[in-house]
Amino acid sequence: MRDTQSLFEELFLPHLDDAYNLARWILERDQDAQDVVQEAYVRALKGFKGFRGTNPRAWLLTIVRNTAYSWTRKYPSNVISFDEGVHTAPTEQPLSESFHEERKRQLYEALSRLSVDFREVLLLYEIEGWSYKQIASTLKVPVGTVMSRLSRARRRLQQELARVQETAVKNEL
């Protein structure tokens, strides 16, 4: 008899792209859609024992939809309209190589501040392009754990990067 995790993966991982597309249409931002899909898969895994339907795609997409709408209520400020004047870098002066090197140094410093669990899942997914399933298999953890670690790792990296940049600005003054 197959274990719960294997059955969950077999039924729901094929619908990962559909889940992302739905979340992306609702939220309009890639990062928010990724976070919502991760949260939805974690919820689906937690509630999997209650799944009695014959259509896993419909069940999952309902969870994604509900999670996305909860997300919009919880984070209303995340909806930012694109303003070309504000969001486009001036083209007259290209950014210097030293600027790029400093940003790279800041990123490495922020990454080094993450715990190994967060850093490893973030690098395997974002840099190496591994799937959730590949990471889960390699780390010997459930797919839901990979998704939640990745979500927390992204948030933590943003926080650490902000701290590193704040320190750099203070040191310049």
* Alpha carbon 161 to chain centroid, angstroms: 16
Torsion angle (degrees, nearest 10) of CA 122, 5, 70, 58: 120
pLDDT at 91: 53
pLDDT at 39: 92
What is the Cα Rg of the chain in Å?
19
> Each residue of 144-161: pLDDT tens digit?
889 889 889 988 998 998
Q: Does domain 1-78 have CATH number 1.10.1740.10?
A: yes
Q: Domain spanning 106-173: which CATH class is it, in words?
A: mainly alpha
> Each residue of 134-147: pLDDT tens digit?
888 888 888 888 98
pLDDT at 2: 65
Q: 1 pLDDT exceeds 60?
A: no
pLDDT at 82: 46
Q: 86 pLDDT exceeds 50?
A: no
pLDDT at 93: 61
Q: Considering the chain, what is the average pLDDT of its residues?
A: 82
Q: Domain limits of the chain?
A: 1-78, 106-173
Q: Which residue has the higher pLDDT, 130 or 42?
A: 42
Are domains 1-78 and 106-173 of this chain identical in fold? no
Output the six-digit token pair for 27: 């939220």
Asked whether the whole model's pTM tops 0.85, one would answer no
